[in-house]
Structure 1
Amino acid sequence: MKGIIVGGGIIGLSIARELNKLGYEITILEKNLLGRGASWAAGGMLAPQAEGLTGDFLNFSVESREMYKEFVQQIEKETGYEVSYYECGIVCPAFSEKEMENLFKRVDYYNKLGLESKILTRQEILDMGIKISNFVIGGAFFPHDKQVDNRKLVVSLVKYAKNSNITVKELTEVKFIEVNNGIFQRVVTNNGTFEADFCVLAAGAWSGELEPIKVFPIKGQMLSFKTKIKNEISKILYSSRAYIIPRKDSNLVVVGATQENVFFKEGNTVSGIFLLLKGLLETLPSTKDYEITETWYGFRPATPDGLPILGKSEIKNLYYATGHYRNGILLAPITAKLITQLIHKGEESPYLKMFDFSRFYIKEE
C-alpha cells in the first residue's frame, strides 16, 4: 500500500518511519529540506510539567515523554548516529511572589497525580551549582522533564528515511491535494503529481494553506552561546523570561524563545534577540561575557486552543498530524504511534477524538 506524507519535519519523518517498518511504500514531500523548519529551530525540551500542562493534554504529553528513551535508542541503533538524549530535569525559577505561588499550586497538583515535583528555595537552586541572579527568589524542580538535541534527532531521522526504501522528494512544494467523491486521490506539486492510497498532512505551520484547518504560524526567535567549560550549567532553566537549555556533554547553551504572531515574516530582529538576552541575563548574569554562536528563528504550527490536530479528516484516506505548536519534538513518538495505528489497523485512540479537527467548527443540528 502506498502513502504520501506531506511535510518532512519531525512529525512527518516519525510517521514515515513507523509506516515504513510495517511495509508501506512511503513518499515524503517536503517544500524545503527535510527537518529544516520548526523541528530544526526548536529547543528540544521534553517538558510537560515545566510547561504547566494539565488534564488530558498533560496525560498525552507525559505518555510521549516516557516513550522517548526507547524511541531514541531504537533510532540510534537503526542509524548508528548518537542523538544526545539528556535526562537532566528542569528548574523553573520564580521572579515574584505571584510566580512562586503559582509554582506551589503546580507542584501540589503534579505530586497528587504521582508526577514527582519539588519546590526549591533560592539557596537550594544555588546549591545545585546554578548561579542565579538576585532577581530569583525560589523555584520548582521537575526531575522527570528532560531534553533531546532536536537537531541531532532530525539528522538521525533523515538518515533513516534516506537509507531506507522511503522515497524522499525535497524542494517539492504541494500545490493542492486532489479529492474525488470525498476520497483522497493524489497530490499535485511543482515537481509532478503523486498518487497513493492515503495521505498524511504533516506540513506544520503551512498545513492551513493546504487544507481548511485552523493552523497558523507563530514565529519564535532563538540564540545559542558557549560557556567556558562543559556542563557549566547543569539543568534546563525554564521561566517566564527565557528558557535556557544546556546541551549534554557540551559547552553549548540554547536560549529561547519569542512568540510572535507576524505570519511568515522572516528574519531575526533586534527586539527579539534583545528580549532573549534580557531574559538570560536576568536569570544567569554570569553569562554576560560569553560568546554568542548563532541566532535563528522558526515558525511553530499553532491552533486556536494550543492543541494539535490529529486523526481523520472529512476526506477518506486523508489524515492530519499537525498543529503541535510548542510541543512537536515532545509529541513526535506518540503522534507517530497513534497515526500509524489509525492507518494500519483502523484503531482510533481516544486522544485522536480529543484532537479532532472538527472541534473548531460549530456542529449544526
Structure 2
Amino acid sequence: MSSNVIVIGAGMVGLATAWHLQERGHEVTVLDREGVAAGSSWGNAGWLAPAKAIPLSDPSLWAYGPKALFDPDAALSMPFRFDPKLWLFLARFMAQATQRAWDTTMASLTPIDRAALAAFDELELGGVEAVTRKGPFVIGFEEESQSKGFQREIAGAVRHGQEAPMERLDNPQELAPMLSDAVKVAFRLEGQRFIEPGPYVEALGRAVEQRGGVIRTDAEVTHVARGDRPAVILTDGERLEADRIVIATGAWLSRLAREFGVRTLVQAGRGYSFTVETDQPAEHPLYLPYHRMACTPYQGRFRIAGTMEFRGPDEPLHPRRIESIVNHSRRLMRGVDLDNRRDEWVGSRPVTPDGMPLVGRTRAENIYVAGGHGMWGVVLGPATGKYLAQLIDTGETHPTIAPFDPLR
C-alpha cells in the first residue's frame, strides 16, 4: 500500500532509501539542512570496496591508539579535553578491539558487503545517470612489515565469505606512477570499484526528483514528533506530516533518534581530503594503509583522503589534519603538486562503538533510522536503502539488515 514518506538526509543512504521507496510506489520528500551530498557523501574517497568494509575497531588499536595520541601526523586524532560522551564512546569502541568481537561484527557485515556492488548496478539499470568504475586498487607500503595488518584484514574478509583477489606487484609505479621510491612493497587488489562520490549522489538526487520526489534543501529538522501521522518540525516552525519518517542524518542521527529508543552512541569520525594535480594522470585508486590514506582519480585530479578524527560533527576544519596528510604525501609520492591543493574538506562520518550500522524501525512503529555506517556509508548506502525500503513497504526485515537493529 502506497504511503507518503519523509526522509531526513540527502546523502547516499537517505537518497538510496528514497529511490527504493519510489520503486515500491511510495511518495517521498527528502529534507536536508544544506543540500544533496553536502555531508560526508561529498569529499570521501568514493571507494566501493566491500573487502574493506570491515570493523574499524580491531586488536591493533591497543598498540596503535596510545602512540597516535602523541603523534601530530598520526591518522587517528582526538582532542585533549573533558568530553564525557566522547570518552564513553572510546571506552566502548576499544572494548570491541578483540579478535572475537572483530569476527562477530565481520560476520554481520558480510551479507551487506556481498550485496553492495549489485545494489549500485540496480540503481544504474533503474535510470540513475551515473557509473561505477572498476579497479584495480594499488596497495602500497614502505616495507614488508607494514603490510601484515592489511593482509590480515583482507584474509579475515575472505574467511567470512568475500572475494578479494590480491597479488604482489613487481613494479608499484606501473599502475600508480605517483608513488615515490619510498614505497617498496605493493599489491594489486581486484573485485572492487570506485565512483566520484559527489557527482554520483547528485545524479541519484536528480533521479529521485525526476520520478516525482521532492528534495528540499535549507530545511533543518529540529524535532520529530510521533503519532498516527508523525511529523517533522523545521527551524522556522513549519510542521510536515507523513505516514512514515526515515532519519538518515549521519553523524547527527542521535539528535533526532534518541527519544525513539536508539541508544547506541553515534560519534563523528571525521575524514579530511583535498585534490591535487599529478604529472601523470591517475587512473587507479591508491591505498596506503599504514598511514590510512585513500586516494582516487577525481575529475581529472587526484583526491587524497585520510584521518579518523574524533570531534564534534559541526566543528570547523582543522588545518593541522590537512598538514599531516600532506607531510606523509611528500614522502610517499612524487610528481604531485601538494602546494596547489583544491577542495580541502572535512566530513563527519557516523561511527558506532560496535562497528555496525543502525538500520530499521525505532520504538515508534512509523519512524525508522538508517545510519551509523562509519566509513562505509557510500558503498553500503544503496543496499541499505533497498532493504530498509522493503521493511517500510512490507513490514518484513530482510536477514541482511537484521543485525543492524537500531534498538540493540
TM-score w.r.t. the length of structure 1 is 0.87
Whether the 8 Å CA contact 1:2–1:26 is kept in 2: the answer is yes
Q: Kindly provide the amino acid, as one letter, of the partner of residue 231 in structure 2.
A: R
- Equivalent residue, structure 1, for 2:290: 240
Pairwise mapping of residues 3-18 of structure 1 onto structure 2 (< 5 A)? 3-18=5-20
Question: 2:51 and 2:315 mapped to 1: Cα distance?
Answer: 31
Whether the 8 Å CA contact 1:50–1:90 is kept in 2: the answer is no
Shift of the alpha carbon at 1:260? 1.2
| SS of alignment partner, residue 206 of structure 2 | helix
Question: 1:74 and 1:263 mapped to 2: Cα distance?
Answer: 37
Matched, 1:71 2:123: yes
Of structures 1 and 2, the one scoring higher in RCO (CA 8 A, sep 6+) is: 2
- Equivalent residue, structure 1, for 2:137: 90
Question: 2:23 and 2:158 mapped to 1: Cα distance?
Answer: 38
Pairwise mapping of residues 159-170 of structure 1 onto structure 2 (< 5 A)? 159-170=206-217
Q: Deviations over 1:148-172 (max 9, x none)?
A: 1111112112212333321222211
Shift of the alpha carbon at 1:238? 4.1
Match of 1:151 among 167, 185, 198: 198
Question: 1:341 and 1:331 mapped to 2: Cα distance?
Answer: 16
Matched, 1:339 2:388: yes
| SS of alignment partner, residue 315 of structure 1 | coil
| SS of alignment partner, residue 257 of structure 1 | strand
Whether the 8 Å CA contact 1:91–1:237 is kept in 2: the answer is yes
* Structure 2 gap ranges (5+): 56-105
Shift of the alpha carbon at 1:17? 1.3
Q: Deviations over 1:190-244 (max 9, x none)?
A: 2411111111111111111112132232222211112244x34434334232111
Pairwise mapping of residues 185-196 of structure 1 onto structure 2 (< 5 A)? 185-191=230-236, 192-196=238-242
Whether the 8 Å CA contact 2:53–2:376 is kept in 1: the answer is no
Matched, 1:314 2:363: yes
Question: 1:268 and 1:259 mapped to 2: Cα distance?
Answer: 13
TM-score w.r.t. the length of structure 2 is 0.78
- Equivalent residue, structure 2, for 1:118: 166
Shift of the alpha carbon at 1:252? 1.1
Match of 1:22 among 10, 24, 45: 24
- Comparing 198-207 and 155-164, the one that deviates more: 155-164
| SS of alignment partner, residue 17 of structure 2 | helix
- Equivalent residue, structure 2, for 1:208: 254
Shift of the alpha carbon at 1:98? 3.1
Q: Kindly provide the amino acid, as one letter, of the partner of residue 196 in structure 1.
A: A
Matched, 1:255 2:307: no
Matched, 1:227 2:278: yes
RMSD of equivalent CA atoms: 2.4
- Comparing 108-117 and 251-260, the one that deviates more: 108-117
Q: Kindly provide the amino acid, as one letter, of the partner of residue 23 in structure 1.
A: G
Whether the 8 Å CA contact 2:279–2:336 is kept in 1: the answer is no
Q: Kindly provide the amino acid, as one letter, of the partner of residue 347 in structure 2.
A: G
Shift of the alpha carbon at 1:355? 0.6
| SS of alignment partner, residue 401 of structure 2 | helix
Whether the 8 Å CA contact 1:50–1:145 is kept in 2: the answer is no
- Equivalent residue, structure 1, for 2:107: 55
Matched, 1:136 2:183: yes
User: Residues 51 and 210 (structure 1 numbering): CA distance in 2 closer, same or farther, change over 3 Å?
Assistant: closer
Question: 1:88 and 1:274 mapped to 2: Cα distance?
Answer: 28
Question: 1:239 and 1:210 mapped to 2: Cα distance?
Answer: 35
- Equivalent residue, structure 1, for 2:316: 267
Q: Kindly provide the amino acid, as one letter, of the partner of residue 117 in structure 2.
A: R
Question: 2:151 and 2:385 mapped to 1: Cα distance?
Answer: 34
Match of 2:244 among 187, 198, 214: 198
User: Residues 124 and 6 (structure 1 numbering): CA distance in 2 closer, same or farther, change over 3 Å?
Assistant: same
Shift of the alpha carbon at 1:75? 3.6
Whether the 8 Å CA contact 1:184–1:315 is kept in 2: the answer is no
User: Residues 201 and 232 (structure 1 numbering): CA distance in 2 closer, same or farther, change over 3 Å?
Assistant: closer
| SS of alignment partner, residue 112 of structure 2 | helix
Match of 2:352 among 289, 292, 303: 303
Number of residue-to-residue matches in the alignment = 348
| SS of alignment partner, residue 38 of structure 1 | coil
